[in-house]
Amino acid sequence: MDFNTIIQILDSTIRLATPLLLACLAGLFSERSGVFDIGLEAKMLVAAFFSAAVAATTGSVLLGLGAGIAASMAFALIHGIASITFRGDQLISGVALNFLASGMTVLIARDWFNQGGRTPALMDGGRFQPIDLPFATAVADVPVLGPIYSELLSGHTILVYVAFAMVPLTWYILFRTRFGLRLRAVGENPGAVDTAGISVVRLRYSAVMIAGVLCGIAGAYLATGLAAGFVKDMTAGRGFIALAALIFAKWRPWYALGACLLFGLLDAIGNRYQSIELLGVAVPGQFMQALPYILTVVILAGFVGKAIPPRAGGEAYVKER
């Protein structure tokens, strides 16, 4: 494996980790507030579809992004109403949204575009274009550092940079602001927040809606950045892998970055090496493709150690009598 290959794999790691990272941070906001969210997948999927659909129709990727975020937020709102206002079961609400998103996107796609559940392939204006960082071409020939800068760090779409910037931002919000303090508190002991005179419901809704925005960006990136259009079930379980990453990361932003990069790396390796020889045995490509999913199971089963979720997670808040 030469240096260039490594750079290429890492480059694709960054691109593949981006939707995971956004979804993982979305889950982080929601679950830190005490609302479990297994509907990350659903929100990404509707966002992917609506962003592709609007981008294909209008030719504007920014309108597409807006539509994706709006769709994702609509789903987040449903989850909020079901699990915060009506105190329903958060897992069931999430499962229902996942089914709804999977069926609804294909159904609408068939009706609107007649291409068997896809959107038309997006032209240039309908996609996010790579951004070249300053001097990217100038330093490209510098040994080692040149390619790292111009290949690895430069040349991604704006959404990639947004996703990675979200990590320190999330950390700052969570641990250095009033909102973050209250958000963490409401996920641990909503009674403490309520008796301090703060609305538990409003806090949880804000968290769930933030998750909606982040999933919306993640979905839009899938359809208009990573790919060029929507195809059926294109999230391919990324919402669940993001959840696994979230647990692996113990609900912390910087750990989330590490976890998502790890899953992204496995995905990148799987994509690059369709078959690989290991100790003289040919490992089939399907195995490589399945690697991120297998790792999810392994990590969750054993290597996480003791991950303590937010204590009030999964429970609707009812004032005690």
Name the minimum Å distance from CB 195 to another protein. Answer: 4
Asked if 304 interacts with another protein (CB under 8 A), we say: no
Counting Cβ atoms within 10 Å, is residue 144 exposed (0-12), middle (13-18) or buried (19+)?
A: exposed
The two three-digit tokens of residue 186, written as one number: 């409401």
Position among 17, 47, 193, 220 found at the interface with another protein (CB under 8 A) = 193
User: How many residues line the site for another protein (CB under 8 A)?
Assistant: 24
CA distance linking residue 279 with residue 122, whole number of Å: 43
CB nearer another protein, residue 81 or residue 192:
192
* Closer residue to another protein (CB): 151 or 194: 194
196 binds another protein per the rule CB under 8 A: yes
Q: Which residues contact 38 (CB under 8 A, 6 or more apart)?
A: 91, 94, 95, 98, 239, 240, 243
> What minimum distance in Å lies between the beta carbon of 192 and another protein?
4
| Residue 191 Cβ vs another protein, minimum distance, rounded to whole Å | 5
- Comparing CB distances to another protein, the nearer of 8 and 189 is 189
Q: How far is the CB of 309 from another protein (least distance, A)?
A: 12
Least Å from the CB of residue 306 to another protein: 9
Give, as ranges, the residues between 151 and 190 that touch another protein (CB under 8 A): 175-182, 184-185, 188-189
- DSSP class of residue 313 equals T
Instruction: Report in angstroms how near the CB of residue 182 gets to another protein at its nearest.
Output: 7
Q: For residue 131, which phi and psi values (nearest 5 degrees)? A: -110, 130
Dist CA 69 CA 64 (whole Å): 9
**CA distances, 156 to each of 121, 183, 238, 271 (Å):** 20, 32, 20, 18
Residue-wise DSSP of 195-245:
HTT--HHHHHHHHHHHHHHHHHHHHHHIIIIISSS--TTTTTTHHHHHHHH
Site for another protein in 26-45 (CB under 8 A): none
Stretch that binds another protein, among 193-201, 210-218, 229-237, 259-267 (CB under 8 A): 193-201
Query: CB burial class (10 A; 0-12, 13-18, 19+) of residue 306?
Result: exposed
Please name every residue paired with 276 in a beta bridge, in sequence order, or none if there are none.
Answer: 283
Nearest approach, Cβ of residue 233 and another protein (Å) = 38
> 164 or 251, CB closer to another protein?
251
Find the binder of another protein among 9, 198, 299, 300 (CB under 8 A). 198
Residue of the chain from 197, 280, 302, 305 that contacts another protein (CB under 8 A):
197
- Which span (130-138, 148-156, 194-202, 213-221) binds another protein, by CB under 8 A? 194-202
Burial class (CB within 10 angstroms; exposed 0-12, middle 13-18, buried 19+) of 178:
exposed
Torsion of CA 144, 149, 150, 151, to 10 degrees: 80
User: Cβ 118 to another protein, closest distance in Å?
Assistant: 44
The yes or no reply on residue 204 touching another protein (CB under 8 A) is: no
Indicate the DSSP class of residue 250: T
Q: Kindly tell me which of 141 and 320 has the beta carbon lying closer to another protein.
A: 320
Asked if 272 touches another protein (CB under 8 A), the answer is: no
Smallest separation, CB 173 to another protein (Å): 10
Residues that bind another protein (CB under 8 A): 175-182, 184-185, 188-189, 191-198, 311, 319-321
